[in-house]
Amino acid sequence: DGGITQSPKYLFRKEGQNVTLSCEQNLNHDAMYWYRQDPGQGLRLIYYSQIVNDFQKGDIAEGYSVSREKKESFPLTVTSAQKNPTAFYLCASSPWASGPYNEQFFGPGTRLTVL
């Protein structure tokens, strides 16, 4: 069953702690993305990666870090430097160089609450 998995669905952390959100895809997609969504708001791009071992900052990268050591995995770390980390985090992937169709698919999301 192909798709994007994010874990956990809900995550609680104390202020000042780093936390890593998992994202795995088995769609054989080259590109992966992280977005942040606040209540009643649209999607804001945090980081994206078009190929393994390479990634670019999005519009709101400050306080976040990522790695792309494997094609299927793109974990996001929310660091203590992120001022307002409580949000809904969405991971997505798209074919990019591996196909002519540029559909982007999303995972189910992780809701992070920092206490």
Cβ-based neighbours of 20, under 8 Å, separated by 6 or more = 75, 76, 77, 78
- Pairing outcome for strands 10-13 and 110-114: parallel
Out of 23, 33, 76, 78, the residue judged to bind another protein by CB under 8 A:
33
Angstrom distance (rounded) from CA 27 to CA 112: 25
Out of 52, 65, 86, 111, the residue judged to bind another protein by CB under 8 A:
111
Out of 11, 27, 43, 52, the residue judged to bind another protein by CB under 8 A:
43
| Closest distance to another protein from the beta carbon of 16 (Å) | 27
Report 46-85 residues binding another protein (CB under 8 A): 48, 50, 56, 58-60
Can residue 103 be called a binding residue for another protein (CB under 8 A)? yes
Tokens 């192909």 -> residue: 2
Pair 42, 12: CB distance under 8 Å: no
Span near another protein by CB under 8 A; candidates 12-20, 63-71, 72-80, 86-94 = 86-94
